Amino acid sequence: MSEVDITIIGGGPVGLFASFYAGLRGMSVRIIDSLPELGGQLTALYPEKYIYDMPGFPKVLARDLAQSFIEQGMQFGAEAVLGSQAVALEKAGEGYVIENARGERMPTRTVIIAAGAGAFSPTKIGVQREEEFEGKGLHYGVRSKDEFKGKRIGIVGGGDSALDWCLNLHPIVDRIALIHRRDQFRAHEDSVKQAMALDMDTHLWSTVTELHGDERLEAVTLENSQTKELLKVDLDALIVNIGFRASLGPLKDWGLEIEKNQIKVNERFETNLPAVFAVGDVCSFPGKLKLIATGVGEAATAVCFAKTHLDPEAKHFPGHSSDMELPSAAH
């Protein structure tokens, strides 16, 4: 493959905005992502979930937001290499060569790592028969809301995802049982207020201890940690939203300075490796906020410093896009 000015590891919202901004600055771009499609977690995990904290959108479906990011990020002709994880980074002259799991070697002058939380897998509840019921009434996310229409569902968790699904699914399901191991929630205050006003069954201080059913999940047993009381709840589906286990995977072997599974960066989003930047959830610095809204700003900053690394005569800040004539494609 030909050398590009900048390679972006990760095709989620932050990586796609980095692609857009690099194209805006006349840089050639390649995106590498292990997922088969662009959009990151927005498309892979919760395409029908509403996102409420994106500027300019009171609320927007994740899949629609992802599509907008994809259209914006690919408009300057970026190359996308999908369905294969970036596994190795080698220094080559003044730049690097990145190799993916298929053995494809891709030369690049600079790198931006926008890998989100890295490779992720859902945290499981850890009870017998869990694997048996996966996809047969037991879910770790929602790909299609229609799948739950008219059903009795249980939602496990106390964070934003769990309560957002209570709010999103309540109008179309028969009944919701919210199951949470504490009596305090980690979700945003407004989401908690709205969810607690719903007509649903709320089981606090409760955990799932047993799954029941023949070919499909039919019920769960809950244990109250305060009273030790057991309660059997009939369900058609159980949605588990208790987080994801993330791993940087091969990135850990690239010689990057890593702290608590995140890549350390400075105020320019530079890593300890020259011409290698990290942005979004994958990076760490004092005061870090893990939001798409902040990640896109990090991406623009990193791209501008990558530009001046390649061309010291270039302006760090090119001006506002409304003031410039946009390039039709990357060179």
Tokens of residue 186, six digits: 């980690």
Instruction: Tell me which of 211, 240, 269 is where a domain ends.
Output: 240
Domain carrying residue 195: 124-240
Q: Distance between terminal CA atoms of the chain?
A: 15
- Same domain? 249 vs 227: no
- Same domain? 161 vs 116: no
- Same domain? 130 vs 236: yes
- Same domain? 274 vs 286: yes
Task: For residue 26, tell me if it sits in a domain.
Answer: yes
Task: For residue 103, tell me if it sits in a domain.
Answer: yes
Tokens of residue 61, six digits: 């479906």
Asked if residue 122 has pLDDT above 90, the reply is no
Tell me: the pLDDT tens digits for 49-94? 888 889 999 999 999 999 999 999 999 999 999 999 999 999 999 9
Q: Which residues contact 93 (CB under 8 A, 6 or more apart)?
A: none
C-alpha triplet 314, 315, 321: angle, nearest 5°: 115
- Residue 328 pLDDT: 53
Domains: count for the chain: 2
Instruction: Tell me which of 206, 240, 274 is where a domain ends.
Output: 240
Task: For residue 33, tell me if it sits in a domain.
Answer: yes
Tell me: the pLDDT tens digits for 173-229? 999 999 999 999 988 899 999 999 999 999 999 999 999 999 999 999 999 999 999
Helix axis angle, 62-73 to 13-24, nearest 10°: 30
- Same domain? 269 vs 309: yes
Task: For residue 331, tell me if it sits in a domain.
Answer: no
Asked if residue 255 has pLDDT above 50, the reply is yes
- Same domain? 215 vs 262: no
- Residue 319 pLDDT: 77
Would strands 283-284 and 262-264 be described as parallel, antiparallel, or unpaired?
A: parallel
- CATH code: domain of residue 273: 3.50.50.60
Instruction: Tell me which of 184, 219, 240 is where a domain ends.
Output: 240
Task: For residue 130, tell me if it sits in a domain.
Answer: yes
Task: For residue 330, tell me if it sits in a domain.
Answer: no
330 pLDDT band, cuts 50/70/90, is very low
Asked if residue 244 has pLDDT above 90, the reply is no
- Same domain? 227 vs 131: yes
- Residue 120 pLDDT: 66
Task: For residue 66, tell me if it sits in a domain.
Answer: yes
- Same domain? 44 vs 76: yes
